[in-house]
A and B are shown apart, each in its own frame.
Chain A
Amino acid sequence: MSRFCRPDWRSRSAALMLLPVCALLGGCMADQPRPLDGINRQLEASGSGNRAPSLSGRWLALITSRGNREVIDLVDLESGRPVPMAGLNRPDAEPLAVSVDGSGRRLALIRQRDGRTELVLHRLDVGASEPIAITPAGVPEQVALSADGRILAVQVSREGHSQIDLITLP
């Protein structure tokens, strides 16, 4: 709802005058999605910028600019709190893309490390990461993990073309 339609607007008389205009404009932008202000303020305060969101269940994974580097954050949207992720954000790696499953126990990510781009599956419940080989060889660019945590869809660049690989996880 736009500020012109808020019932607590200071001037009731002016608001009444605007009502027909709002109606003509299709509900005064009532179609705008409703932001979750509390969590959005927390996200803004968590770094100098953030990008590449992945929502699943109560979890939000995203890439946050913090200091001079980017890191992967996982936020519990029910509590509004970040989830500690031991062993995921390596100082020698730069995250490019991330996707979380609905249980919040599996994260798939693409990162650059040692001059290579790699696809990694991270298990939060045990704090372990495992690279997933791209076969035939290619450069992973985007990743999507199904909410049930069983399927990975990966955009892979091979010989100048982007293709999609599907990987069934054990």
Chain B
Amino acid sequence: MSASTNTRAQPGSTVLWEKGDAAGHDMLGTRTFGFWLYMLTDAMVYAALFAAFGVLAHNAGLTSKSMLASVFDAQAAYRDTIVLFTSVLAYGYAMVALKKGSRGGVAIGTAVAMILGLVFLAMVGSDLERLFSQGIVPQLNGFLSIVFTLIIYHALHIIVGALWMLVMLMQMGRDGFTSNVVYRLINLRIFWHFQAVIWVLLFVFVYLQGKII
């Protein structure tokens, strides 16, 4: 079918051009859409890392599970989880405050989320410190290499997220809720939830696996 036979139109009555400045489009929508795309790439990074985890755990065989059970502290990880999820909850409240347009609410929620994120970081850090001091290091074998890589790559997200929150607090203080600040806050929500989802996977595959399965 020729596309040009779709419709018959008269030059006089056909709208050919969009008047008015349409260049802006839907700024918030475009920015968050792109950030979802970015999140997809990060999800693919984790997909590849977890695939490597599966392969290298298979290599290690039965020892992988006993290693997980004896080396990693599930109860400490449970405490980490509570802290991290409280942080996500606090950021959720910040987003509720954003809908109401409350600058103070957003600031408090973000600050609490940031501090809890840093607390989580310190807890994971001390846990890693303890393992390293016992000689349990990524260089020991392929399985530990991937386990520590997963944990540290997730921790990197916490560092980036906390830095991002700090920047947002400053920009909010300076500019208020401009469209730049708002889309960044919304994207940060996507990012912060995403890392929490990844933590769930880490908790299940690394910290719990040796305990219950």
Q: Are these two chains actual partners, yes or no?
A: no
Chain A contacts to B: CB under 8 angstroms:
none
